[in-house]
Structure formats: C-alpha cells, structure tokens
Amino acid sequence: GEDVEQSLFLSVREGDSSVINCTYTDSSSTYLYWYKQEPGAGLQLLTYIFSNMDMKQDQRLTVLLNKKDKHLSLRIADTQTGDSAIYFCAESTGGFKTIFGAGTRLFVKA
C-alpha cells in the first residue's frame, strides 16, 4: 500500500541550511505537501508541489521532487531557531486521501 517515509530527527546550527528528505511509494501521487507542526499545535501547510513539477521555491523554502526515485526534499535556507518544529511530508492522489509521513523533528542550535 501507500507509504511515506522520513528520517525522525535533524539537527542544524542557526544560519545553516536544513534539508529534510522524504520518500513515497505511490507513483500516482498528484500533490506532495510539506506541513509544519509547532509544539502543542496542529499541522500547518508550509508548501506543496504538483507532481508535474521538479522544483518550487518560496522565500527560504525550496522543494525538490525526483519522480523517478519518488524522493521529495525540503530545504530551509538560513535556518532560524523559530524553524524548530516537526515537519511532515504528505502525498495525495487527489480527492480526499492524503498519506502522511511520521514527521522529522528539526532542532536548531543557536
């Protein structure tokens, strides 16, 4: 069945770039999402990419999609302490169903 996998932890220094990786199994995915969850809060959509795109840039965020390898990454430039959170990768084939990864906890050291 469909699955989304991510590493559980990432630690970076303030000012460095962070790269969070994700792999998925469903080749018919239409949308791929990155959500951010801050402590005690729900998930908030950070950015998304359509499956017919290779890259999307939004201010400090860059999303790269390798459809052949079913690999998605999120790069955060100039990482700040406020970026410390859990980041979830998710895939959707359209309609109602979205599959979420387990989340990557990003620690930013000052």
Among positions 16-35, residues that touch another protein (CB under 8 A) are 30-31, 33, 35
Three-state DSSP at 52 gives: coil
Check binding of 94 to another protein (CB under 8 A): yes
Q: Kindly state the tokens that stand for 26.
A: 């469903």
Torsion of CA 7, 40, 77, 14, to 10 degrees: -100
DSSP annotation of 25: -
Among 12, 64, 98, 107, binds another protein (CB under 8 A): 98
- CB-CB contact of 37 with 103 (8 Å): yes
Which positions from 40 to 79 touch another protein by CB under 8 A, shown as an x/- string? Answer: xxxxxx--x-------------------------------
Site residues for another protein per CB under 8 A: 4, 8, 30-31, 33, 35, 40-45, 48, 88, 94-96, 98, 100-103
